[in-house]
């Protein structure tokens, strides 16, 4: 059985999340999927950014507030790499300072169908049009057919957002993210090909329920080798990790050594 290595925000354990160094390292390591969280700027650009606000990862201090309240040009002035050096001095590198946000268009332009993609619609209720913008980019970079062949998996915690995408193109593969164990597999199987559960939800009973409804299981976010081994033994189909190299090693697909880490 093939278990996919999903680079969570890039190789974000080694480099600032959603920056070129994080994505480049994930590609060098041999990750199967790159996972860009999507936020929409005030002028309609989709950027690879996790939080609804700039506060946690953007510098200087005036780079703050909701992403949706800023234009792309305004956000481009922010440094989204230095925070990593501050928080993880043992992994700090000079080149991380001054990193700028990356757009989904730039990611698609650079790697196209050379890798599989796993975008997540974030905060879709507050940014109407996000789903249409995502599909427009799939078309612009000739990825719509690849997506239909599972070269792009679209994920969200929002069933409404996934429903919107399904209404626009019922052939696109969707993944329902789960934080709650009570969400009904039977209902999810009506519109999605898989689930992305919190790793703590995944046990043999969870796997049995997912399999009974033909759903893939891609737990998040798994960084410790012992937990990787537990989930691999249960037979999950893929794993989100900040350290793709660790998972590749467990799978016998070791990529290049990223250098000394913690």
Residue positions annotated with a catalytic role = 8, 50
Beta-carbon-side half-sphere exposure of residue 184 (alpha carbons within 13 Å): 4
- Mention every residue, 6+ apart, whose C-beta is less than 8 A from residue 139: none
The answer to whether 65 and 75 have CB atoms below 8 angstroms apart is no
Instruction: Please tell me whether residue 8 adopts helix, strand or coil conformation.
Output: strand
With a CB cutoff of 8 Å and minimum separation 6, the contacts of 70 are 41, 42, 54
**Cα 32 → chain centroid:** 12
**CA 196/CA 179 separation, integer angstroms:** 9
Calpha distance 240→88 (Å, rounded): 21
């Amino acid at each position: 059985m093939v278990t996919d290595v999903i680079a969570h925000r890039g190789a974000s354990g080694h480099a600032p999340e959603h920056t070129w160094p994080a994505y480049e390292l994930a590609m060098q390591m041999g990750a199967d999927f790159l996972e860009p969280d999507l936020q929409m700027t005030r002028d309609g650009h989709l950027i690879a950014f996790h939080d609804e606000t700039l506060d946690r990862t953007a510098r200087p201090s005036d780079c703050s507030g909701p992403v949706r309240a800023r234009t792309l040009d305004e956000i481009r002035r922010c440094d989204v790499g230095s925070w990593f050096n501050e928080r993880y001095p043992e992994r700090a590198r000079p080149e991380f300072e001054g990193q700028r946000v990356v757009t989904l268009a730039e990611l698609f332009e650079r790697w196209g169908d050379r890798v599989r993609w796993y975008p997540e619609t974030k905060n879709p209720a507050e940014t109407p049009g996000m789903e249409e913008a995502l599909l427009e980019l799939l078309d612009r970079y000739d990825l719509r057919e690849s997506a239909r062949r599972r070269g792009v998996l679209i994920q969200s915690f929002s069933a409404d957002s996934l429903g919107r995408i399904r209404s626009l193109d019922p052939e696109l593969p969707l993944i329902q993210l789960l934080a709650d164990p009570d969400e009904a597999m039977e209902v999810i199987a009506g519109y999605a090909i898989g689930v992305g559960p919190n790793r703590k939800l995944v046990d043999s009973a969870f796997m049995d329920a997912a399999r009974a409804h033909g759903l893939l299981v891609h737990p998040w976010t798994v960084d410790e080798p012992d937990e990787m081994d537990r989930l691999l033994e249960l037979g999950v189909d893929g794993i989100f990790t900040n350290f793709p190299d660790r998972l590749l090693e467990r799978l016998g697909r070791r990529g290049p050594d990223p250098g000394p880490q913690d």
